[in-house]
Structure 1
Amino acid sequence: MNLHVFDLDKTILKIDCEKSFLYFLYKNKEIKKKEIKICEKFYNDYKNCCLNFKKYQKFYTKIIKKKKKKINFFLKFLKKKIFYKSYLIMKKKKKKIISSSSNKIICEKICKKILKEDFIKSNKNFRRNKLYNIMKYLYKYNSKKLIFYTDSNNDISMVNFSSKSIIINSDNLLIKKFYNKKLRFIFIKRILKI
């Protein structure tokens, strides 16, 4: 049986959960504008595939540990930010797991309390590490094929490795790279099958 692996941010969720959590904290006067500017720089680096993941995790983990109690309030906001189309696809699959580069603390809360699904518990789940972590689950679930759902060019190693990839609301870099390949693209406002 196939193992279906779903990215979290902008695939199951409409937003990036880490970035949105920081904005949530800022709006509630829990952090300063300085942290938002740092976050924006990291976020732009991520979109351009040049993120220093260790520095980013250090920055984000420091904030989230101090503001851990605020996550439950944030989850109420997040319930309205689910892509129901991809969420329903995920719910229909028997063998599935969520894999995200987002912080483990916030991912765990989202996956357990809102999505009620298992996820890969690792703060080293970025680019190739994501692939290595998923290999363990292929073995655990005794699956021969991997179907991967993502939005990001940062998941390129996963897209290349998987038996089939479904690109949901993709960033432009991923569309440019794979538009002529036999991939299935799903856009929430329109569906394009390739």
Structure 2
Amino acid sequence: LIVRTELDAVTKNAISGEDQYVTVKALNEFDHKAQGSGGALDWRTKLVSARGAVVATEMKNNSCKLARWTVQSIIANADVMKLGFVSRANPKSNDRHVILGVIGWKPRDFAAQMNLSLSNGWGIVRTIVDMCMSQPEGKYVLVKDPNKQILRLYNVPSSSFEEEAEEEAEIAEEEEEE
């Protein structure tokens, strides 16, 4: 199995002076007053005073995203995973943002905090592969249900997505000609 990974930065360890590999990710603040906010906290007031509560809430509301980032960091052999907390400068404007804070963890420590098991992750990969291999040859779409912890595999017509692929190829050809 070959896995392509990525690192975002290299920093010097403050104590040993050795290079440390870093992955950098950002969470966007959700309007904590909006319906369906999942109990999100106001980051502007709580990030400093109740950092643990903010992180715990994000682990609950963004568990899939944080698990993916953590596993990517572990597989990339990153020494540190930095997580930025980003908010809109003005809630009604989507073009200006501010970084409210950055928190760093060792990826394996963060995985333990999330109760994330790498061996369980590889078991999930194996289950998905087995599920796909048990299907007849064809074209399928794997979809995660947004409201449940379930994956669904849909059989789609073999001509699905071909128009989109052709359009993308035409656009790429036009860009090459320019």
Structure-1-length-normalised TM-score? 0.26
Larger Rg: 2
Greater strand content: 2
Greater helix content: 1
Structure-2-length-normalised TM-score? 0.28
